[in-house]
Structure 1
Amino acid sequence: MKQRFGRVRAVLTVLVTAGVLAGGGVAGGGSAAASGDALRAGRAAPAASGVTYAQFSLAVPRGTAHGHLLTVDLRRPGVSVDLLYAGSVGARKAVSAMAGAQRAVAGVNGDFFNITETQHPGVEPTGASVGPAIAAGQRLKSAVPDGQRFGPALPPGTTAEDVIAVGADRRARLDRLSLRGSVTTPDGRLPLRGLNLYALPVGGIGAYTPQWGTTSRVRATCGTDTDRAAPCSTDTTEVTVRRGRVEKIADTPGRGGVPEGTTVLVGREEGAQQLRKLSVGERVRVTERLAGQRPGAPRFAVGGFPVLRDGAPLPGLDTVASAVRTAAGVGGGGHVLYLLALDGTKGNAGLTIGELAWLMQRLGARDAVNLDGGGSSTLVLRDPGSGTATVRNHPSGGAERPVPNGIGVFARQP
């Protein structure tokens, strides 16, 4: 891989250098300065206790990519990360607004999301993200089918269920979170196929909780598992369950907030037919959990597809399409988190997915995910003594794009 990207003229010029880039690494995270052909380090610029901020430039065949990097030492007392979000799954806000509201010292944008619905006239986009999301240990949502994703094509061997997560042990990791749930009715148990999703699997049943918000649930029954643009289903049912009993049954998905103590079940095709067997007043029990492949339930998780695993870029990464990108990486045995966003200013080059994986590797990450990019790419940082988080990169749209979630960094500032 090093030889392959020799043509990239990979020279990182650190303009404002974080501690991990200044040599020696943070918490065993490894030092990017160790690869002298890739990096020239300068002075350290701490942003908060255990958090450092850097800018960098990278020469590529198309020009120069300029970017911004946060390095987070999760072993430092009082340092943590959690999901930034707008209060509900189907809502969007600017990263700076979410960071300010949650009193984060820094953050980047998160997962790809249901940004448009040009294929389904009259159906409004939900703004909900693609992959699983967990905030402060609370399960917010599961992943849509791979064919219903927004964003670049998935690299081989990855799915919409892939996340970057942090567990109760305060270690960051890559994981894969699958929904395990059921709907128990008087006639038996039905599989639950989605939690707060903008796209349900064909034939499935999804649960919508108060965390979904007020956004319409119609989009959940549009497209198929392999074709996001396929027509909306005409065979749907929505069942409102309040305090364990069926309160209402409707033929089509609705909109509006879901009250506390209430779960709305939406079914399509076979799932709709099973829900139509219910009657008002009958008892229904809904259970759900997100099961990971790593030990311990995550306290935080956000969707993103892996580009780097065990210190090596994944095979089959795209090396053609260049774009403004955001990424998150893990180093130091899970104790160091790298959060990166490129500049979108006109004249700055973007990176391919392959180049991004190589860059995260050179910065010290052993595992990394690609997050939403383009106009969504945003990195914010709070000035010491200020309650306001300001944008440090230049979003390609000229201003912050409202997004459904992000990765927030929490720490004490000087």
Structure 2
Amino acid sequence: MLPVSPPPPPSPPALLQLVENPVSEGDRLLINGQPLPVRWRFEPGTPGRLWLPLDLLEAELGVEAKRIAGGTLELSWFGQEQTVSPDEQISLDDEVAIEVAALLRGGGIRLQLEPGSDGNEQLALQLPAPRFLQLRESIRDGSQRLVLDLSGPTLLPRSDGQLQLPLSNPSAAARALRERGLEAGIDGRRVLLPIEGWSQFSLGKPARLVLDERSNGLAPMAKRPQPFLPAGSGGLQMEQRRLGIRRQNYLVSFVRFDPTAETFNLVPLSRQNMVGLGSLLGLARSQGAVAAINGGFFNRIQALPLGGLRDDGDWLSGPILDRGAIAWAPQELPRFSRVRLNETLISDAGKRIELNAINSGWVSKGVAQYNSLWGPRYKAITGREEAVLVQGQQVARRFNHAELSRGVGLRRGETLVVARGEAPLPLQAGDGVSLERSMVPKAFAELPNLIQGGPLLLNQGKVVLNGKAERFSSAFMRQKAPRSVVGSDGELIWLLAVEGQGNAGPTLRETAELMQKLGLKQALNLDGGSSTRLMVRNRGQSSGRGFGAAIHNGLGIVLSPNR
């Protein structure tokens, strides 16, 4: 994810209040005694205010976040509800954070600052496990619905497609779920429940957890669905090394393979619909990947891609901001470079309209294009937009902002050309148009697969880090965080996850130097922080901040000729 906005500074009315109510920030959170390396911000008071990352709220607490037009969030958790406007969403390092003290307290969660073993403050969240009361079952539209009645709210952490449900009587709940055909396990005072293929939400007064079976399973998420994982993994293994640099230690987890050996293929893990997020496990399983890593950046609030994504020749989302990318053909080593896609729409009258994006959540003043690979409908992303619909090579009609806000259907063979920020769009119904396209570097145009991240770390074994050239902020370049990387040593493709050992993780320069230590010649940074996730054989082996955040896309390794 990319930062949303800097956190607002505290604004006490007087010095006395500043002294009495200091703002606390930290990077260690305890949830019922379990530590997580998570950034938080707390302002004591009556009532106090607490900012936590949205990733954490969804993945560890079970807060449901509904994204609506304009970037507003509607949060709900066991009957507690909260609406969060875009200007109320701040950034803690690289994480989108939400003020949720009232929401959590309303559900019975106790918040407390405590001294940590290292002398720094840590924040503790505590919620006693409720009692399971009964399980009710019904059929809705041909699909199973299960309702767990509870004595009160509970935390709903998810990991690797599994819900870990804390209960005071887990045996009773597991037995009831097994009787309904679910493979429910027990770990201490938690019920372990596989939920891939199920959606979930909570209700309050009384507390209930609702599970709805998805009749279409996982396959529709994938652009090209594949069977579930075959037995074994063709000998692919996770490797780990502990490396030190600048008096800091890091754990590097990785998988590597020879793409020319006709055993494995590297594939983009992509979606049918560019609007939305999901789990790396879901993407990997639905596309038959035996190993996978999270991919490029995305806008977490609007759930839209922020970078190039090309799958088997289709531009699902176009490159942005000259950022680093890899591109490849099957059974070949990938190429690494900063990339740019130049597109110009030319009318029969000779008018040239420069396009700044294709199927992208990155928006700026200018003109962009969207087609059916974006999804079945386009809805306005910014406050003022107008558009024309091109069918084949002719403008069919114009749309004003009100029509775009309601949504415009997109069918194969149609392109919606959207103007933002009062950019001129000199086209009318009946005008003929053509598209002129070129790519930098030119060789990338012929490669059918591409994924963009950034910044580029290594080229020919040398550190080529240049945040300014790829338009990353200086704060982003200095930040220490878990990292995801794709690279090559000239013979093998590597997928790597880097985690700090007693620290927040490496900076980007330290990441590049770690890649050099491992002998890589080419390396590209992917989305990091809580998005960092490396999986082998259907199990998470490395997780950036201890919980499996939702992502937009990824990279997978499949057994040939699986795809």
Q: TM-score, normalised on structure 2?
A: 0.51
Residues 258-283 of structure 1: per-residue CA shift (max 9 Å, x gap): 212211110135644424xx13x443
CA change 1:313–1:177 in 2 (3 A) is closer
Is 1:308 aligned to residue 458 of structure 2? yes
CA distance in 2, matches of 1:262, 1:320: 43
Deviation at 1:288, TM superposition (A): 4.3
CA change 1:63–1:267 in 2 (3 A) is same
Q: Which residue does 2:540 correspond to in 1? A: 391
Q: Which residue does 1:81 correspond to in 2? A: 266
CA distance in 2, matches of 1:51, 1:172: 19
Q: Which residue does 2:299 correspond to in 1? A: 114
Match of 2:487 among 313, 326, 329: 329
Q: Which residue does 1:268 correspond to in 2? A: 420
Read off the aligned partner of 1:329 and give its amino acid letter: G
Residues 273-315 of structure 1: per-residue CA shift (max 9 Å, x gap): 424xx13x44344454645343662221111220111111125
Read off the aligned partner of 1:321 and give its amino acid letter: Q
Give secondary structure in 2 for the equivalent of 1:393. Answer: strand
CA distance in 2, matches of 1:199, 1:316: 20
Give secondary structure in 1 for the equivalent of 2:448. Answer: strand
Deviation at 1:394, TM superposition (A): 2.8
Give secondary structure in 2 for the equivalent of 1:192. Answer: strand
Q: Which residue does 1:129 correspond to in 2? A: 305
Match of 1:209 among 371, 389, 414: 371
CA change 1:314–1:291 in 2 (3 A) is closer
CA distance in 2, matches of 1:339, 1:258: 35
> Does the 8 A contact of 1:50 with 1:411 survive in 2?
no
Deviation at 1:89, TM superposition (A): 2.4
CA change 1:215–1:331 in 2 (3 A) is farther
> Does the 8 A contact of 1:142 with 1:194 survive in 2?
yes
Q: Which moved more, 1:135-144 or 1:315-324?
A: 315-324
- Aligned residues, how many? 317
CA distance in 2, matches of 1:339, 1:188: 47
Residues 339-391 of structure 1: per-residue CA shift (max 9 Å, x gap): 111348x9564111122111111222111111101110001111xxxxxx221
Q: Which residue does 1:372 correspond to in 2? A: 527
CA change 1:49–1:238 in 2 (3 A) is same
> Does the 8 A contact of 1:213 with 1:258 survive in 2?
yes
CA distance in 1, matches of 2:249, 2:465: 25
RMSD between aligned alpha carbons?
2.9
Residues 90-148 of structure 1: per-residue CA shift (max 9 Å, x gap): 232111110111101111001111123xxxxxxxx2x232221111222222223x4xx
Q: Which residue does 2:142 correspond to in 1? A: none
Q: Which residue does 1:103 correspond to in 2? A: 288
Structure with higher strand content: 2
Residues 223-259 of structure 1: per-residue CA shift (max 9 Å, x gap): xxxxxxxxx5x4x311122344333312224435521
Match of 2:495 among 327, 339, 353: 339
Deviation at 1:395, TM superposition (A): 3.9
| Structure 1 portions without partners, runs of 5+ | 1-46, 117-124, 147-158, 222-231, 383-388
- The structure with the larger Rg is 2
> Does the 8 A contact of 2:245 with 2:514 survive in 1?
no
> Does the 8 A contact of 2:370 with 2:378 survive in 1?
no
Match of 1:352 among 492, 507, 517: 507
CA distance in 1, matches of 2:298, 2:363: 15
CA distance in 1, matches of 2:399, 2:444: 40
CA distance in 1, matches of 2:550, 2:299: 12
Q: Which residue does 1:165 correspond to in 2? A: 327
Give secondary structure in 2 for the equivalent of 1:392. Answer: strand
CA distance in 2, matches of 1:262, 1:315: 39
Give secondary structure in 2 for the equivalent of 1:294. Answer: helix
